[in-house]
Amino acid sequence: MDVTSKPDTPATPVFCTIVPPHLLDKLAQSDAPEHHEPARRTLEHDTLLRTRRHECTLRAAAARAAGSDKPNRTIYDAQHSQDLPGTKVHSEADKASKDASVNRAHAGLGATFELYLKVYGRHSIDDAGLPLNATVHYGEKYDNAFWDGERMVFGDGDGKLFKDFTIPVDVIGHELTHGVTQYTAGLDYNGQSGALNESVSDVFGSLIKQYALKQSADQADWLIGADLLAAGVKGTALRSMKAPGTAYDDPNLGKDPQPATMADYVDTIDDNGGVHINSGIPNHAFYLFATAVGGNAWEKAGQVWYDVLTGGKLKKDAKFADFAKLTIEAAKTRFGGSGAEHEAVVKAWSTTGVVTAE
């Protein structure tokens, strides 16, 4: 398996957000203005950007440079406008800012760069030293964060249901990993391939948090966005890889709709075919694999997922079963067909109903 190949030109970027449309739809129907107004504004904004054809692929490709072992981070401030990138407020060599959002964005970009470099030998998002840019204080009470193919963008949240989106490092890692996928497998953002796109971002977002906190698979909470929900919200996070469908059950947010197995797969035309919903299935498979193997999840389980993402065999329109087959092959290539790793990954995918146990 070639684990170093990458396309000469990155896939056309897609607009990827951390808060799924189904959750914002629920909030937009609320009778409480403090909930439905921010949600409606966020939905309108996200819908507009999803339907706009992105022009940043060539710009991103042009920015590629020789790989470096140090990140090149620049933070901008939108000052609550929707004009990107905003005003430049922090560069790589600058001292800490008085703005906590700027410092958190800077640190989150760094944590993502560090995991990919030190664990997988990857030099930034494109593996060629791509500068990491981010914009904070985007929009008015904007309830989301997103990767637009060029940069990370963070809203401040509405303060009632969501806090500042720079707070959870796994959210930053999740969004930047959409960039890694853009430069490698280029998974189509619809149906099962789109759910795999989202799941890969959740997997590496969680690994970035675990690596930063020096947590083993058994110590990790396996939650995505655990520090994002405001006080009073009945929930622990946006998603749970350990127990999909249990992250929140709140009068305003509704109930977490993620399935953990194919038996509960959701057929829908919403959210690009349920990319944020059905991602719970491959998420849970990774959790089962990582915890069965034990130790640090980024070392073995994460390496297998990275091998598949970057190996050149994963098709843009891959289904769950296609991805599962490649991870089983990758585990065999890395660790042998009779090892615990191979057995664990087969069991993980069979438990979720994606494949039949060998």
For residues 321 and 221, state if they share a domain: yes
Report yes or no on 358 lying in a domain.
Answer: no
Amino acid at 39: A
For residues 200 and 141, state if they share a domain: no
Amino acid at 279: S
Report yes or no on 34 lying in a domain.
Answer: yes
Q: From the candidates 276, 284, 341, 342, which is the catalytic residue?
A: 276
Report yes or no on 347 lying in a domain.
Answer: yes
pLDDT by 10s per residue, the chain, length 358 = 343 444 445 665 556 777 776 666 666 666 666 555 776 666 566 555 544 433 333 334 444 445 679 999 999 999 999 999 999 999 999 999 999 999 999 999 999 999 999 999 999 999 999 999 999 999 999 999 998 888 999 999 999 999 999 999 999 999 999 999 999 999 999 999 999 999 999 999 999 999 999 999 999 999 999 999 999 999 999 999 999 999 999 999 999 999 999 999 999 999 999 999 999 999 999 999 999 999 999 999 999 999 999 999 999 999 999 999 999 999 999 999 888 999 999 999 999 999 986 5
d(CA 65, CA 210): 29
Q: Are 142 and 45 in contact (CB under 8 A)?
A: yes
Report yes or no on 125 lying in a domain.
Answer: yes
For residues 33 and 178, state if they share a domain: yes
- Residue 234, domain CATH: 1.10.390.10
For residues 278 and 329, state if they share a domain: yes
Last residue of a domain, one of 151, 183, 215: 183
For residues 23 and 90, state if they share a domain: yes
Q: Is 175 a catalytic residue?
A: yes
Last residue of a domain, one of 124, 152, 183: 183
For residues 49 and 137, state if they share a domain: yes
Q: From the candidates 150, 175, 198, 329, which is the catalytic residue?
A: 175
- Enclosing domain of residue 68: 16-183
Q: Are 219 and 229 in contact (CB under 8 A)?
A: no
For residues 99 and 217, state if they share a domain: no
Last residue of a domain, one of 154, 183, 212: 183
For residues 174 and 203, state if they share a domain: no
pTM as predicted: 0.87
Q: Is 140 a catalytic residue?
A: no
Q: Are 216 and 235 in contact (CB under 8 A)?
A: no
Going by C-alpha positions, the residue among 16, 7, 34, 43 that lies closest to residue 174 is 16
Structurally, how many domains does the chain consist of? 2
For residues 53 and 199, state if they share a domain: no
For residues 178 and 296, state if they share a domain: no
